[in-house]
Structure 1
Amino acid sequence: MNFEEILSEVKFEVKFGDEMLAPAIVQDADKHDVLMLAWMNQEALRRTVECGEMVFWSRSRKEYWHKGDTSGNVMTVVEWAADCDSDALLFKVRMHGPQVACHTGARSCFFKKCEK
């Protein structure tokens, strides 16, 4: 099934905001921890859906970023959904490789704990 067929079966249309981007939250499908937040445009979403692995748009480098190409930390999509406004995406993934999502070497990008 190609991207257009997949999107025609989805019950929502993704609303890409400023700069035609939508936030993509990535969560471990089994452990349920939030791994990272990155950005997607329509082409990154198409590539992700078609290959079944996470592809993002790098705002700083202005290029597509297939997670794991250089690090080996590939994220395979298990399922995905949009929020109630269809302007943010949630991807549940299984990581392959070192189990590291963050460029700092941490499992999750959300490791900075805040005091109450």
Structure 2
Amino acid sequence: MVYVSLGVAIISELVATSLLRINATSSGFNPLLVLGICVFYCISFYSLGQSLTVIPTGVAYAIWSAVGIVILTVLDRVVYHTQFTWQVYLALGLIVSGVVLLNLYAPSHG
């Protein structure tokens, strides 16, 4: 169940950060978008906190941030057609590799 909480935290963070991008590229301050950003970040942090009842903090945070970084980079590429260098893709691979290693060798958790 803690991985469901972590998944909700990741999805909520992705929505909030995507809304940040939309608000930044819109024609001005949009109070509804800002409200959505705040709500989804609150859901994200609450859910992340719930996952910390079982998953070690460093492992949960690494998963949360790494998955967010990778998915948001892919969304930037697909939705906004952002061009990245090979170094960015290498960095993403290293991030994913680091999280996999952290999960393999961190203290066991439920």
Would you say same fold, with TM above 0.5?
no
Structure ranking higher on relative contact order (CA contacts 8 Å, 6+ apart)? 2
TM-score tier after normalising by the smaller chain length:
under 0.3
Report which of the two has the higher share of strand: 1
TM-score relative to the length of structure 2: 0.27
